[in-house]
Amino acid sequence: MRVCFAIAALVLVAALAASCGEKPEETTESGLTKVELALDFYVNPDHAGIYEALERGYFAGEGLAVEPRVPSDPSAPIKEVATGRADLAISYEPEVLLARDQGLPVTAVAAIVQRPLTSLIWLPDSGIAGPQDLGGKTVATAGIPYQDAFLKAILARSGQSTDDVKSVAVGLNLLPALLSGQADAILGGFANVEGVNLALRGKDPTVVPVDRLGVPTYDELVLVANSDDLETDGKKIHGFIAALRRGTATAAANPRQATEAILQAGDGLEPRLTAAEIRKTLPLLTQEGDKGTFGYMDPDAWRRFGRFMAADDLLESRPPISEAIDNSFLPGY
């Protein structure tokens, strides 16, 4: 009888917890809380802080067992967080605003890279000295809608329009398009990835981030959580960001060690290229924004970028920035 009452009491407690919005945490045998982390892309130098934090046990020190996974589709991570299939995801500011506009419950809780990496890139033999020379040229993009808005803004700054250039969507084949001559310039490559790759090949590329070409600045990479779970997952999110900050600082102090961590975690990465990308990336990961806080997201900058997207009809409405970002989980904020 006592056993039956005890079981009934446990069931009642579980039901009450569920009714209060609490959700059971998955734990490992050692008692660590499991965290499913959806990466934005294949393992690369942008993830140096994450893999250093794993390597050094910083996540475990916060009581977390973090399990990163590479997406099959770069647009999938933010959707996985929205549907509860991942606890956290690496994504991009434009993707967060698009997701909010579609009614998805996602919130950016930290900026990992607090400035645009997306760049306009061309080579010396293209006949391009600046955006004013894009008229009559072919520009390859990844085919992402907001990159078309970027190109429109870049051209407008020099009195041109999208009718003055030939734009081709090449998906992930930006480098082959440029190197083969299919395109005179590419828009969508990252300064610390495609830009570094071309420089290492001796191609002497010109690499100009889009915020220097008329596009409002934005946070290229952000950590995203489910908006509905912020209260219940607050401790987990705060611990993750604290460990990430330590991992990023450790990577910055020892780039060679950070390179080894990425090479071990990645699949088929080229050591010399990865080392060069790490050197270019680490200063970007350690920037602490206007507030001097790791991961800080500037609400005013987000509003300006939201207005930019809305003006190009990428958003049906402007999502309240107070719902799109939350700085309260940042260490020391």
Q: What is the pLDDT of the chain when averaged over all its residues?
A: 90
Q: Is 126 a domain residue?
A: yes
Q: Is 8 a domain residue?
A: no
How many angstroms separate the CA atoms of 310 and 239, rounded? Answer: 34
Q: Give the per-residue pLDDT at 29.
A: 66
Q: Which of 170, 192, 212 is the last residue of a domain?
A: 212
pTM over 0.85: yes
How many angstroms separate the CA atoms of 120 and 137, rounded? Answer: 13
Residue 313 DSSP SS3: coil
Q: Which of 167, 193, 212 is the last residue of a domain?
A: 212
Find tokens 């680490």 and name the residue. 282
Same domain, residue pair 270 and 237: yes
Q: Give the per-residue pLDDT at 318.
A: 78
What domain range includes position 180? Answer: 118-212
Residue 283 DSSP SS3: helix
Q: Give the per-residue pLDDT at 332.
A: 80
Per-residue pLDDT tens over the stretch 209-230: 999 999 999 999 999 999 999 9
How many angstroms separate the CA atoms of 96 and 105, rounded? Answer: 10
How big is the chain, counted in residues? 333
Find tokens 């045998």 and name the residue. 29
Q: Give the per-residue pLDDT at 333.
A: 72
Same domain, residue pair 264 and 305: yes
Same domain, residue pair 172 and 135: yes
**Section 130-139 average pLDDT:** 97
How many angstroms separate the CA atoms of 40 and 296, rounded? Answer: 19
Give 216's DSSP letter: P
**Section 59-84 average pLDDT:** 92
Contact 108, 81 (CB under 8 A): no
Same domain, residue pair 48 and 122: no
Residue 126 C-beta-side C-alpha neighbours within 13 Å:
30
Sequence letter at residue 132 = Q
Same domain, residue pair 263 and 150: no
Q: Is 29 a domain residue?
A: yes
Find the range with the poorest average confidence among 126-130, 268-272, 319-323.
319-323
Sheet strand arrangement including 206-209: 166-169, 138-141, 185-190, 118-122, 206-209
Does pLDDT of 19 surpass 60?
Answer: no
Same domain, residue pair 105 and 230: yes
Which residues lie across from 120 on neighbouring strands? Answer: 187, 208
Contact 164, 136 (CB under 8 A): yes
Same domain, residue pair 224 and 107: yes
Q: Which residues contact 265 (CB under 8 A, 6 or more apart)?
A: 43, 47, 51, 54, 68
Considering only CA atoms, which of 149, 302, 155 is closest in space to residue 217? 302
Same domain, residue pair 87 and 143: no
Task: Give me the sign of the Cα torsion angle 51, 56, 59, 60.
Answer: positive
Instruction: Give the number of domains in the chain.
Output: 2
Q: Give the per-residue pLDDT at 18.
A: 38
Q: Give the per-residue pLDDT at 328.
A: 96
Contact 170, 101 (CB under 8 A): no
Does pLDDT of 20 surpass 50?
Answer: no
Q: Give the per-residue pLDDT at 286.
A: 84
Q: Give the per-residue pLDDT at 225.
A: 98
Per-residue pLDDT tens over the stretch 266-301: 989 999 999 999 999 999 998 765 567 899 999 999
Same domain, residue pair 63 and 183: no
Bigger pLDDT: 29 vs 38:
38
Q: How many CB atoms lie within 10 A of CB 158?
A: 15
Same domain, residue pair 79 and 226: yes
Q: Is 185 a domain residue?
A: yes
Q: Give the per-residue pLDDT at 127.
A: 95
Give 324's DSSP letter: H
pLDDT range class, residue 145, cuts 50, 70, 90:
confident
Per-residue pLDDT tens over the stretch 82-110: 999 999 999 999 999 999 999 999 999 99
Q: Give the per-residue pLDDT at 26.
A: 80
Same domain, residue pair 292 and 320: yes
